[in-house]
Structure 1
Amino acid sequence: MNTTILLFLLQDGVTNGAIYALLGLALVLVFAVTRVILIPQGEFVTYGALTYATLSAGNVPGTAKLAVAMGVVAFALDLFMARKSLHRRRVLRALALNIILPVVILALTGWLAGRQTPIAVNIALSLLIVAAIGLFLYRIAFQPIAHTSVLVLLIASVGCHLALQGMGLVFFGAEGQRGPTISDIAFTVGQLRFTGQNIAVYAITVTFIVGLWLFFGYTIYGKALRATAVNRLGARLVGIRTSLSGQLAFLLASVIGAISGILIVPITTLYYDTGFLIGLKGFIAAIIGGLVSYPLTAVAALVVGAVEAFSSFYASNYKEVIVFTLILPVLVLRSLAAPAVEEEKD
């Protein structure tokens, strides 16, 4: 290996690691607030990427229709849960959020389909569609069982992953897709060539890391999320709506996942099930960060990206095995460092 190959591998590792950092941050965010290990995070990546590619091709993505269907179910759940104290204002608010909003998004998507819409418009529509799906996913699948154990929430998360992956096959088919690049600019620094897509990956990752730090440290909603993470019951006692905190966490996670997919799809061909593997690598970074530390998760994601890049060069057939093996020593060390806890008895 010479210096040029080394630099190329490091560049590739940093680019991939930046994507994994975004996903790892989303996983940490959701787990900290809701105790949900968000297995469907990879589906948010796939849905964002393939929705963007479908819109760019001038077609209406099936995810827009899925958002409407999930909104109808969420509206029915809201009415059922509030059946003993139905108020006009509450019904209208649920109707606007669960029915009118996704219908407007679907109508706008259908109106713009086939037109030469700018890339920014397609990106915005993709984010709106996936954000609605993420919001309704929490309302339908996780909010009713928010008080249960982490194991129950994990089982529900796996079920949501399987359901969303199957629907992804229905919506997008088995063929892979690619989307247009965000920017066509390119320049060379020494032996390395940087494209607009690379720069977008770096800039958006740094922006999200800084933005999350400012959001949790200096805003009311961010502090409410932190309070919910520390003590869910205590947060409810001081007037924080924990259901709203969960919805906000899932909304942010779905947007982060969709942005990650939009950044990836111009670089490589994505299939309906590709996001799961990408999400697992973000999960490794989140586990190394202990599912609590945002800076450590970001650093771990860069390490995962670099290991993957060098594994592809030296042992491409075993790169996934090598990457996933990184989690084993971390789990062993955390197990040894954790205090002994007696198993719960029925």
Structure 2
Amino acid sequence: MDTTIALILLQDGILNGAIYALLGLALVLVFLVTRVIFIPQGEFVTFGALTLAFVVNGRMPGTVILLLIAGALVFLLELLSAWRSRSLAGMPRKFLVNIVIPVAVYFAAPAIVSSQLPLWVAVLFSLAVVIPLGPMVYRLVYQPIAEASVLVLLITSVAVHFALTGLGLVFFGPEGWRTPPFMEGEISLGAVSWSAQTFFVMGACVLLILALWGFFGKTLYGRALRATAVNRRGARLVGISTNMSGSLTFTLAAAIGALSGMLIAPVTTIYYDTGFLIGLKGFVAAIFGGLISYPATLFGALFLGVLEAFSSFWASAYKEVIVFTMVIPVLLWRSFGSKHVDDEE
């Protein structure tokens, strides 16, 4: 291996590591706030990438139908809850979010799909389709069992993963798709030419991480999520709704997943089940941080990306094994200094 090959592999590693970092941060966020190990995070990567691919290729994405179905189910659940509590407070807003907006997206979809609009318009439309699915999944699946044990929540996440993977096959089919790059061209740095798409992905990841930092540090809702992550019971005692925190957390996770899928779709062929493997690598990065540390997760993601790139050169048949085997020494190292902590402590 010469310097040129090493720099090319480093470029691929940093690109993959940036995506794993976003997914790892989303997994840490969801776990801290809701205690859910969000295995279906990868499915939002797939849904975001394939929705954009269908839109730019002039085809109706199946997630538009999924959004209608999920919205109707959530609204029926809210109606049942309102009937039991004999209170209609908040129902107009819930009707707007779960019925009006999905219906508006459904009727706007043919015009968006059939028009040769700029790529950024297709990206915004795809985000508008996929992101609302996050809080809807939380309301339908996780909110009713929010006080269950971590093990029950994990088993539920596995079930949701299989359900969303099956829906992905139904709505998108078994074919693989790619999307146009966000930026064309090459940028020469020394002996290696880096693609402009690589810099775009890294820049987008940095901006998104900074936006998350500003959200958690400077906004009221961000501080509410931080308080819920520190102590769920204490957050409830001071008037912070854990249901609101969970819904907002899943919205952020869906947004990060969908955007990550759109960033990698120009460089990787995306299938209906591709997101699981990508999300699993984000989970490995989150394990580096013990599912509590954002900086350690970021470091672990970049390390995994570089390790995967160099493993694909030296032992391509075993690169996945090498990446996932890294979980073992990390867990062993953390087990030596860990102690049992109850959920609410």
TM-score bin, normalised by smaller chain: over 0.9
Confirm or deny that 1:294 pairs with 2:294: yes
Q: Number of aligned pairs?
A: 342
1:208 Cα deviation from its structure 2 partner: 1.7
In structure 2, relative to structure 1, the CA distance for the partners of 1:147 and 1:341 (3 Å cut) is closer
* Distance in structure 2 (CA, Å) of the matches to 1:38 and 1:14: 24
Q: After superposing the two structures, state which structure 1 stretch, 205-214 or 155-164, moved more.
A: 205-214
Distance across 2 between alignment mates of 1:113 and 1:6: 41
Q: Distance in 2 between matches of 1:203 and 1:30?
A: 24
TM-score by length of 2: 0.96
Question: Shift of residue 340 of structure 1?
Answer: 6.0
Aligned match of 2:57: 57
Q: Secondary structure of 2:66's match?
A: helix
- 2:131 match: 131
Is the CA contact (8 Å cut-off) linking 1:79 and 1:86 kept in structure 2? Answer: no
Task: Identify unmatched segments of 5+ residues in structure 1.
Answer: none
* Distance verdict in 2 for CA 1:341–1:102, change over 3 Å: closer
1:130/1:254 contact within 8 Å kept: yes
Q: Are 2:176 and 1:212 equivalent residues in the alignment? A: no
Partner amino acid for 2:136? F
1:73 is matched with which residue?
73
CA apart distance, 1:196:
2.6
Please give the alpha-carbon distance, in whole angstroms, between the structure 1 residues aligned to 2:21 and 2:263.
Answer: 13
Mapping of residues 73-92 of structure 1, within 5 Å: 73-92=73-92
Query: Which AA in structure 2 matches 1:254?
Result: A
2:206 corresponds to 1:167: no
Percent identity over the alignment is 56
| Larger mean Cα displacement after TM superposition, 242-251 or 331-340 | 331-340
Matches within 5 A, 1:1-346: 1-339=1-339
The 1:340/1:20 distance shift into structure 2, 3 A limit, reads: closer
Q: Structure 1 length as normaliser, TM-score? A: 0.96
Whether the 8 Å contact between 2:11 and 2:194 is mirrored in structure 1 is no
1:157 to partner: Cα distance? 0.6
Residues 236 and 341 of structure 1: CA distance in aligned 2, closer, same or farther (over 3 Å): closer
Determine the C-alpha separation between the residues in 2 that align with 1:265 and 1:6: 24
Unpaired runs of at least 5, structure 2: none
Local SS of the residue matching 2:83: coil
More moved, 178-187 vs 8-17: 178-187
Quote how far apart the aligned CAs of 1:185 are: 3.3
Q: Cα–Cα, structure 1 residues 292 and 117, in superposed 2: closer, same or farther, change >3 Å?
A: same
Question: 1:37 corresponds to which letter in structure 2?
Answer: I
Partners of 2:104 and 2:126 in 1: how far apart?
A: 14
CA contact (8 A) 1:285 1:304 kept: yes
Distance 1:16 1:88 in 2: 47
Which amino acid is 1:79 matched to?
L
